[in-house]
Structure 1
Amino acid sequence: MTKARRPVWRTLYFWVLVAIASGILTGWAAPRLGESLEPLGTGFVSLVKMIITPVIFLTVVTGIAGMADLKAFGRVGLKALGYFLAVSTLALAIGLVVANLVHPGHGMNVDPRSLDAAKVESFVTRAHDQSVTGFLLEIIPTTFFSAFTEGKILQVLFVSILFGIALALLGEKGAKLQDGLKILTAVIFRIVHILMYAAPVGAFGAMAFTIGKYGIGALFNLGALIGTFYATSLLFVILVLGAIARAAGFSLWGLVRYIRDELFLVLGTSSSESAMPSLMEKLERAGCPKPIVGLVVPTGYSFNLDGTCIYMSLAALFIAQACNIPLSLGDQLALMAVAIISSKGAAGVTGSGFVTLAATLSVVPGIPVAGMALILGVDRFMSECRALTNFVGNAVATIVIARWEKGVAPETLRAAFRGEGGDFTERESDVLQIEGRSDVRT
């Protein structure tokens, strides 16, 4: 039975939209006040990041422990990594092609010697700390418990997989612990629901800070780059991810409507991590097996960053074009090869794309790293688009892997996207309802 549609003013996405609009108005009318509201945004993101660690751990552990065939888990991991590599590489290539066609930096005629490298020195320093070996070693936590206290997603995932496999191998001996973890999972997701009530406040503070500090005028100064990036990302989502979704037997538009609350939350906070717990729960409710959701979503936050890849290609060529630095096909392919590696491991938080760009340019000869100062002022406005594209890409990837594993039927997905099914309607009212009873049942 389909649940009666609630008034729009009682939905989460409506209040997040109101908060975003209010934040823009506040930052524009009172820049100092807007800038002072930054703690509202960062505080909300911190609240959500606080709960991400237990969400990943419990989802992965209970999912693996409940699997009859552990070999299937390894197969899912290999399929996911193959998908991530293929799609993110395609995103990098599309960014290069668009930059060569549109030439967003053409005509700026910037002298590289006039650029202030000090403005991006901190990002370059952080970028130099990144390497393939260092990245792989970072997956291993210092201690078992430090993975949880430091909150690094891949470390938590690593420990969770080990714990889940060990628990599965215990068989009947671990049954009681599995039951206890399932109850704890319900408690943790209840906390997620509670935190979502603060989402409009966080979105308001984050948007007011962005407009108050950087000003709307910054959008017009580098409008060609921003417009090109947003248009390219939109086309990538519609054409590439849309085609992938269609081939996998589900509707991209249906998925977008299904996760619209999370998308507006990502838009408001510029962080895809802010909506990770809700995304994982919604994908499970849509029928995706828990082990697949628990593995693909957290891994995708480091390995499947389509928006970041498009941004890196466009931004790198924008800097070269602005400084009148010609790049041959070989130079661009070398840039792409480095970006394929450096883009892996970028976190889904605000500013990570800029650091990853610095890591790429620091090892690519010809493009001055100091040229990043040209886009520093508007990078914050592009982070929303990066986060949204990354978020949709990971949602699509999870369902695609689930379909490859025959873990969810197209009919089940369509029903979930329409809001049909008792489990969906019961839990949706709890997550998304802003006021009124949270125990509404159909």
Structure 2
Amino acid sequence: MFDWLKGKRDKRPSYEEAKTIAQNGDVDARRDLAALTDLEPELLYFFATDKNADVRRAVAENQAAPVHAKALLSKDEDRQVRETLASRITELTPALDQDASSRASELVLGVIKDLANDQLVEIRAILSDEVKQLENIPQETASKLARDIDASVSSPMLEFSPLLDDEQLVQIISESIQDEALTAIARRNNLGENVAHAVAETESGEAVQALLENQSANIADNTLTFISEKAEDHENWHGPLINRDRLPDQAIQNVAQYVTTNLVNQMIAKHQLPNDVVKDLRRTVFDRLNKVRSRYAKHYAEDRVLLAEEDDNVRRQLENSLTELGFIDIRSVGDGETAMRVFEAERTPVKLMICSDNLEDMEGQEILEEVRDLDEELPFMLLSGKNDEDAIMEAKRYGVNEYILKPYSDEDLMKRVENIYRKKGY
């Protein structure tokens, strides 16, 4: 015993020695003894009433402490004792699966109830985070935590608890909860359609964004259309909305009325829309965004352009630039083989081709030679990073109509395209 009191802890004291330490030992000795997982339960219970908070906290941390000792600590005056107990609550909850009517289960339920009613938000928040995915806690406790006035408490339950069904979630939403809590609901896995619609109807900027970003959420067509009608004033919804796996036709039309050219083209690429719909969307964007127009814009809108560029970002940038010039029928590919297949197979003839000089599978000159075998007059514009006179002259010799240096500017692109259409005699 004396060695134990002097700080030598390599040998556990006997039961009688432990009783003496519990009654008369210093704080360090009592605390270290209370942390032993093989200490007799009655001694751990005794330590749960120790006058020193550090000792009681050691009991709260001790997985072997009996439930009735933990029950005492759930009402402890010391905040850190209760915080520790809340953070280890899942060590007690297995008792709820064994015999719901047992004394042990009653004590565990009492501990959970006490912590759920704790006056300190921090303790309720710790408890909520610990039990958020449990199915064996009382339904009323799950509901109480989910409705807590503080979002740090309610959010974990609202996002994860399997004890909250769709009807309860819709009811909670109707109670005008904070945006943070509403956002937690929006993030739930496999969110139901009714709940998703209830979230959308709040028009919460943060929560609706989270809902749209949640690809597991079941969002009905009428909900997506509703969101698309409200989204003009919520720029943070635009990207997540067009990136939904599915969008109803009316939502697509609505979105085109206010999003950027880039987002419209992303939507076109993602949703594999019919060509007549694609042309209508690009026409809508052009009419909305372009105040100063080329005198050839009418002809651009009538002509199909084939774009072949290996870099996804550059290709998307070119699609945007061409849309804002007035082109609405744009075929965009990333390699030469596909470019030639599109060129040969499409019923609507290509009226302008814009091609990189060094695609992965074919060089620009090879593609132009194949194109010229099929159409000697097709205007061909070459995109190149070679900024020297020899490269430009060589391109001109093998039939390139216009040469654009990468990275290009919209002004240069417009100038080169206008040159081509002026030479057509428009």
Q: TM-score, normalised by structure 2?
A: 0.16
Larger helix fraction of residues: 1
Larger strand fraction of residues: 2
Q: TM-score, normalised by structure 1?
A: 0.15
Q: Which has the larger radius of gyration?
A: 2
